Structures are given as C-alpha cells and as structure tokens.
C-alpha cells in the first residue's frame, strides 16, 4: 500500500536545504514516487539532477509553464525540446493556459500549449495541464487536438461537475490536491460524484498546502491529508483508495 504524488516541485529553492529529509519523511509514510513537472529553462537542470540522485523515487517531466510564456516562447521551447534527447521524461508538463495574473500573452500561451500537445502526441507521453481562470480556452484546444494518442491529467482541478465530465470525456484524469480539504471550496461535492477511477492525487508542493496548513509551505507528506479527505468523501478504506489511485497513476505515467 503506497501513494504516488503525481505533481510536486521538489527541486525548487523552497526545499533545497531539506530535500533529503522531506523525501525520507514522505517515504516513511508510504509515499514512494514523486512526479516532477517542470516550470521553465531555469528549473529544468535542477529537476533532472534531483531525478538522477533519486531514480527510484523522483521522475521528470518537461514543459513550459504558461506563466513563463512570453514573446520569446519559441526559442525557449526549442531549447527545452533539445533536452528531450538526453533524458527520459515521463510526461509533458506542466503546460496550459493561466489567465489569473495577466492576459498579455494569451495568444502566445495558446500557441505554446498547442506545440507541447504535439510533443505529447509524437512522444506518446501524457500531458499535465495547468488551467487557471482559463477552462474554456484549455478545453477548446484539448477538444480540437483530441485523438487516441492524447491523454493526461488536468492538474489542480477545482471546477464544477460539468467541467469535470468534459475533461474525463477527453480521456483525462482529474488531479486533486489540497483544495479538496478547504472549507467552502465546493470541490468535495463535485468529487463525490466522480468515479475514483478518474482521479489521481497531488500536492503541488510547495504550493496549496491542505488544511490545517493552508497558507504555509506545502510538504510531500501532506499527500496523506488529501488522501484521508478523499477516503472520507468516498466512504472507503485507505487500502482500497490507495490501490485504485496507484492503478490510475501508474496507468497514466508508467504504462
């Protein structure tokens, strides 16, 4: 019985001084795999280095986060693409559209998203999608690009039941994190109606710590708190839950 954190930024400076101890603490709590989404060119080397240090536990993804997409996105993507020849990545991510902070580069974000979807199809790798204040834009592109080779997860899902079903119908999982534990988020009532077979868990650490640590640095071991909340919502045992979540995550990233 063990869990996989499907989305965690363990390579960031937030963890630099405690990487080893935090990984060790999480492993002792039966969190045995950490899947690492990339942000941009400034993070990719640290991400790869951490995965080389812990090949049994840490697994790399490659992508350009939408908040890092600027006018020069094509040059950045070309440099990232070259990295794919030297490292075995398990997914393309995290990629997508973020309109929460700024809409200046919305067209560039859409273009970068489409290019990276093409990478996922060509490499037959899952796609890890970031979607903030942009569900309609993300869904439109995913629907247009949908085919038998496109699969993935909508990371940090926090939408409604209709949106959840639309994403599931495109052969995507819902990535569920700390928001599930927030009072008044409404996500619990949505997830109650979603088959457990369509869910994978994530921390998104160091971001989005679950209750009772909301607002603090999120840590790898907090995945247990999210799993406990999911057990409560689904009225099932931790053993049944972890077995199914392992199947889900393994089928997406390692099959």
Give the CATH number for residue 97: 3.20.20.140
Rounded CA separation 107/39 (Å): 19
Full-model pTM: 0.97
Q: What is the pLDDT of residue 158?
A: 95
- Select from 132, 142, 101, 254 the least CA-distant residue to 204: 132
* Partners of 199 in the β-ladder: 174
Question: Quick one: which H or E segment has residue 45?
Answer: helix 44-53
Q: What is the pLDDT of residue 1?
A: 76
**Domain coverage including residue 86:** 3-253
The number of folded domains in the chain is 1
* pLDDT one-digit tens code per residue, 24-33: 999 999 999 9
> For each successive 10 residues of the chain (255 residues), what is the average pLDDT?
95 95 96 97 97 97 98 97 92 97 95 98 97 97 96 97 98 98 95 97 98 97 97 96 96 94
Q: What is the pLDDT of residue 86?
A: 86
């Amino acid at each position: 019985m063990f869990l996989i954190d499907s989305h965690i930024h363990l390579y960031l400076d937030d963890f630099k001084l405690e990487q080893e101890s935090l990984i060790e603490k999480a492993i002792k709590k039966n969190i045995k795999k950490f899947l690492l989404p990339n942000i941009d060119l400034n993070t990719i080397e640290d991400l790869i280095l951490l995965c080389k240090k812990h090949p049994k536990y840490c697994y790399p993804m490659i992508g350009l986060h939408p908040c890092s997409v600027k006018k020069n996105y094509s040059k950045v993507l070309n440099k990232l693409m070259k990295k794919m020849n030297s490292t075995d990545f398990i997914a393309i991510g995290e990629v997508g559209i973020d309109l929460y902070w700024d809409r200046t580069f919305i067209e560039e974000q859409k273009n970068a998203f489409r290019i990276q979807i093409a990478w996922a199809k060509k490499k037959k790798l899952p796609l890890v999608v970031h979607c903030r204040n942009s569900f309609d834009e993300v869904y439109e592109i995913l629907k247009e690009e949908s085919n038998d080779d496109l699969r993935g997860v909508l990371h940090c899902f926090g939408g409604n039941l209709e949106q959840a079903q639309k994403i599931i119908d495109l052969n995507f999982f819902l990535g569920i994190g700390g928001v599930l534990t927030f009072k008044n988020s409404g996500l619990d009532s949505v997830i109650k109606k979603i088959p457990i077979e369509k869910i994978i868990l994530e921390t998104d650490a160091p971001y989005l710590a679950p209750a009772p640590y909301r607002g603090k640095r999120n840590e790898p071991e907090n995945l247990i708190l999210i799993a406990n909340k999911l057990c409560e919502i689904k009225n099932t045992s931790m053993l049944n839950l972890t077995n199914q979540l392992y199947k889900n995550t393994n089928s997406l990233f390692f099959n």
